[in-house]
Amino acid sequence: MNTIYDIAIAGGGTAGMTAAIYSSRAGKRVLLIEKSVYGGQIISSPEVENYPAFSPSTGYDFAAELHSQVSDLDVEQLNEEVTGIEQDDNEISRCLIVKCSENSYRARCVIIASGTVSRNLDLPGEDKYFGRGISFCAVCDGAFHKGKTVAVVGGGNTALEEALYLSFLCEKVYLIYRHSSLSAEETLIIDAQKKRNIVLMPETEIVKLHGKDELEKIGLISSGRSLELEISGLFVAIGRIPQNQIFVDLLDLDNEGYIIAEDNCHTSIPGIFAAGDCRTKDLRQLVTAAADGARASSEALKYLQKNIEPQ
């Protein structure tokens, strides 16, 4: 733990990788830490169509291009899980200690870009059926249900994107959502309504999962009445949970667990910044994640110049 990095970045999604690019190009010693696959949740998106000046492509391709940019720079990359951040007792070094699953690292400042994970249904048997009929990614698992009947639960953009992707593979796709109307973008709603094999099921809630070794059918309450659907797969897209549990005793979080940080990405502790979907914000999109990464890097550079670097 002798090396002291200028900026350590926790999370290798769009926000984290953008922060790494900006920080490295500013001549700083940068450590980028990602516990699994670089790219974050965008990897599972079948298409990226709303990123400015970017031709329609898959989320995986977008993430791969971004990671290629990072790899071309002098950024140290580690595949470890961040388990906490502590303030160093040594006032001379003025460092933060980033604790990971295998080692600990010292940095002058830290950018948290921990992202979010899919929200579960919280139904009995859900863990049993994960990977055996229940999935969070149509692109990853849709092919297993080719020519069969599946269901998607959720009413936002992700749910509509999942349903539209599956409509090209499956005989029938039930789109299940609790409210009377969908909350997705109008263009996605129109596209779904045009699909003859997408069946909209408003005011419907999944209450039970059935199956021996694999998911075979689901129990529903739809407009006050009980019914069952025989399906081969259930794709869950009911929102996301911020990956901030390890920071609950360190930073100020809101009631949903998002790090409280304004557009300048400053958190409640000087030298720690939050970027991307993990922070409080009104819009969580690819373009805002990239913007957060750039802003967090800019603010970190200002912090280093003011508090660490010799005047």
Catalytic sites, residue numbers: 137, 140-141
The two three-digit tokens of residue 250, written as one number: 């360190």
Contact 158, 179 (CB under 8 A): no
Phi, psi of 253 (to 5 degrees): -115, 155
The two three-digit tokens of residue 48, written as one number: 């990226």
CA-based nearest residue to 7, from 288, 298, 278, 280: 298
Please tell me what DSSP assigns to residue 48. Answer: B
User: CA–CA separation, 106 vs 82, rounded Å?
Assistant: 13
User: CA–CA separation, 162 vs 140, rounded Å?
Assistant: 11
Query: In degrees, to the nearest 5, what angle opens at C-alpha 77 toward C-alphas 72 and 80?
Result: 160
Phi, psi of 229 (to 5 degrees): -125, 130
User: Whose structure tokens read 């039970």?
Assistant: 208
